Amino acid sequence: MKKIDFDTISAVILEKFKTYTGKEIEPLWAFNMFGVQKDSIVGFIGPMNVKIENMKDLKDVKEEKDVEIPIQSSEAINFIVEHFDNPDLKMTYLRQRILVSTAKDVIENHGNLKLKKSGDDLYFNGKKLSVCIACRGISSGKIHLGINIKSDGVPSHVSAVGLNEMGIENTFEIMEEIAEIYAKEMSKIEKDIRKTLPLF
Domains defined along the chain, listed by start:
2-176 (3.30.930.10)
More reliable by pLDDT, 116 or 22 = 116
Q: How far apart are CA 170 and CA 49, in angstroms?
A: 23
Q: For residue range 73-116, what is the model confidence (pLDDT) as tens digits?
A: 899 999 999 999 977 899 999 999 999 999 999 999 999 999 99
Q: Which pLDDT value is given to residue 58?
A: 46
Sign of CA dihedral 37, 41, 46, 50: positive
Instruction: Give phi and psi for 78, each to the nearest 5.
Output: -120, 135
C-alpha span between 151 and 169 (Å, rounded): 14
Q: Within 10 Å of residue 89's Cβ, how many Cβ atoms?
A: 11
Confidence label for 155 from pLDDT (cuts 50, 70 and 90) = confident
Task: Check residues 87 and 175 and name the one with the higher pLDDT.
Answer: 175
- Specify the pLDDT at position 65: 52
pLDDT of 35 higher than 60? yes
Give phi and psi for 112, each to the nearest 5: 50, 50
Q: Exposed, middle or buried by CB within 10 Å (0-12, 13-18, 19+), for 90?
A: exposed
Of the candidates 2, 59, 48, 1, the one whose C-alpha atom is nearest the C-alpha of residue 25 is 48
Q: Is the pLDDT of residue 61 over 50?
A: no
Provide the residue count of the chain: 200
Average pLDDT on 173-192 reads 97
* Average pLDDT estimate for 8-23: 95
Nearest CA to 76 out of 49, 98, 95, 115 is that of: 49
pLDDT at site 115? 98
pLDDT at 62 over 50: no
Q: What is the largest CA-CA distance in the chain?
A: 57
pLDDT of residue 27: 93
Percent of the chain scoring above 90 in pLDDT: 78
Please check the confidence at residue 59 and state whether its pLDDT lies above 70. Answer: no
- pLDDT tier at 148, thresholds 50, 70, 90: very high
